[in-house]
């Protein structure tokens, strides 16, 4: 994608309809076309259009079946589909909505209606994506949030059971964060959280690793297929890097840095083990580390 133009796929078996819709939409959008159901399914997955206009009556697979297949395809299920048809029929319209279409337009096409509906549905899809992103991301640091962490660790826990592999978890808590906030103010506290957050993805960067902000000053790192010794190295790297991160205060007068306490557990889980026990062990180890004087890693192989 060279610029921000949205991509629309038009699926219709008749050239004249493709030509009319292309003429209406091409000034504002990049277009992909398909003249039968097979091609439509293939191109939807390959080209990832932002919206699909889909004819019902086609010779190979009819539009309803194409719609059904699109909605069961992981790669295409979130693409909004507007049904376009020559049949002005309430049953068809109802069926289209039940199968997951977002709208229904009848031929002959009116330029303004086509443009307006396309624009509206593109906007709505954009908002839905933004909300989905917000629901998985911590707004301050940009790291995955607690919700995404919960989903990820659940998935990796199950995978570890299936594959009989060790799963490691770090819980990282900033030491004396409240005192820091009181001394330098909330804005500086936020700066500190942002600076600390950048350390995790650099230290745990395999594709299945996940670093998240799970509450105020608490972070977590999920390390799939990682034995205790390797997880400890990563934890130690995180502890040292954060300790050596020097941050100027907002007024530029003072340099500050902080330390973290880390709870670390490793387990090769079995089917009856509980993920909550695993998490609680790591969480409890953080408090042990705090009690033992902070700026350290405590944990065990379960
Ligand atoms: Mg047709």
Is residue 130 domain-shared with residue 152, that is, in the same domain?
no
Which of 104, 134, 164 finishes a domain?
134
What is the chain's pLDDT, residue by residue, as a tens digit (302 residues)?
Answer: 445 799 999 999 999 999 999 999 999 999 999 999 999 999 999 999 999 999 999 988 999 999 999 999 888 988 999 999 988 788 999 999 999 999 999 988 999 999 999 999 999 998 888 777 778 899 899 999 999 999 999 999 999 999 999 999 999 999 999 999 999 988 999 999 999 999 999 999 998 999 999 999 999 999 999 999 999 999 999 999 999 998 888 777 888 889 999 999 999 999 999 999 999 999 999 999 999 999 999 999 98
155 and 120, same domain (yes or no): no
Report the separation in Å between the CA atom of 67 and the middle of ligand 1, taken as the mean of its atom positions.
Answer: 14
Give backbone dihedrals phi and psi of 36, rounded to 5 degrees, phi first. Answer: -150, 170
Phi first, then psi: give them for residue 254, nearest 5 degrees: -125, 145
d(CA 153, CA 231): 15
Active-site residue, 28 included: no
Closest CA to 59 of 42, 94, 81, 34: 34
Shared domain for 128 and 171, answered yes or no, is no
Residue 3: predicted pLDDT: 57
* Residues with Cβ within 8 Å of residue 26, at least 6 apart in sequence: none
Distance separating alpha carbons of residues 29 and 102, to the nearest angstrom: 19
* Ligand 1 geometric centre to CA of 59 (Å): 8
Q: Are 64 and 44 within 8 A, CB to CB? A: no
For 32, the domain range is 7-134
How far apart CA 34 and CA 37 sit, in angstroms, is 8
Q: Taking Cα atoms as reference points, which of 202, 144, 19 lies closest to residue 10?
A: 19
Centre of ligand 1 to C-alpha 72, Å, is: 23
- The reply to whether 121 and 181 lie within a common domain is no
Looking up residue 67, the CATH number of its domain turns out to be 3.40.50.2300
Contact 273, 154 (CB under 8 A): no
Cα 14 to averaged position of ligand 1 atoms, centre (Å): 6
Verify cis geometry, omega within 30 degrees of 0, for the bond prior to 129: no
Q: Are residues 150 and 84 in the same domain?
A: no
- Report the 10 Å Cβ neighbour count for 145: 20
Same domain for 156 and 286?
Answer: yes
55 Cα: distance to centroid of ligand 1 (angstroms): 6
Give Cα 109 distance to the centre of its chain.
37
Span from the CA of 64 to the centroid of ligand 1 (angstroms): 12
Distances (CA, A) of 110 to 113, 117, 224, 278: 5, 11, 55, 60
> Residue 258 in 3-state DSSP?
coil
Helix (H) or strand (E) holding 214: strand 210-215
CA of 125 to the centre of ligand 1 (A): 26
pLDDT, the chain, mean: 93
Q: What is the predicted pLDDT for the residue at 1?
A: 41
| Per-residue pLDDT at 60 | 87
Residues 120 and 249 in one domain: no
Cα(116) to centroid(ligand 1), Å: 22
Residue 237 in 3-state DSSP?
Answer: helix
For the chain, how many structural domains are there in total? 2
Give the active site residue among 217, 218, 229, 288: 217
Q: 16 alpha carbon to ligand 1 midpoint, in Å?
A: 10
236 and 96, same domain (yes or no): no
117 lies in the same domain as 155: no
Is 158 inside a domain boundary?
yes
The domain boundary, picked from 110, 134, 158, lies at 134
Question: Could you tell me the pTM of the whole model?
Answer: 0.62
């Amino acid at each position: 994608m060279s610029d921000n133009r949205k991509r629309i796929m038009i699926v219709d078996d008749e050239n004249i309809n493709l030509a009319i819709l292309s003429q209406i939409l091409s000034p504002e959008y990049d277009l992909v076309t398909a003249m039968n159901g097979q091609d439509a399914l293939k191109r939807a997955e390959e080209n990832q259009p932002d919206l699909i206009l889909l004819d019902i009556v086609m010779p190979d697979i009819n539009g309803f079946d194409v719609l059904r297949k699109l909605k069961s395809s992981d790669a295409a299920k979130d693409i909004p589909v507007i049904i376009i048809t020559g049949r002005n029929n309430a049953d068809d319209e109802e069926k289209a909505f039940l199968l997951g279409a977002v709208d229904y337009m009848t031929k002959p096409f009116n330029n303004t209606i086509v443009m307006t509906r396309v624009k509206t549905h593109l906007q709505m899809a954009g908002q839905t994506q933004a909300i989905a992103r917000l629901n998985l991301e911590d707004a301050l640091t940009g790291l995955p949030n607690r919700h995404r962490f919960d989903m990820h660790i659940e998935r990796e826990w199950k995978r570890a059971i299936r594959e009989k592999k060790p799963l490691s978890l770090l819980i990282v808590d900033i030491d004396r964060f409240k005192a820091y906030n009181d001394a330098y103010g909330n804005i500086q506290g936020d700066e500190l959280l942002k600076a600390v957050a950048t350390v995790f993805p650099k230290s745990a960067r395999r594709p299945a690793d996940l670093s998240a902000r799970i509450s105020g000053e608490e972070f977590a790192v999920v390390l799939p297929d990682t034995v205790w010794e390797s997880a400890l190295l990563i934890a130690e790297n995180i502890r040292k890097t954060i300790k050596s991160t020097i941050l100027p205060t907002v007024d530029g007068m003072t340099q500050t840095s902080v330390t973290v306490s880390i709870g670390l557990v490793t387990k090769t889980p079995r089917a009856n083990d509980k993920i909550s026990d695993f998490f609680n062990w790591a969480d409890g180890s953080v408090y042990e580390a705090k009690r033992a004087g902070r700026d350290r890693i405590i944990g065990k192989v379960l």
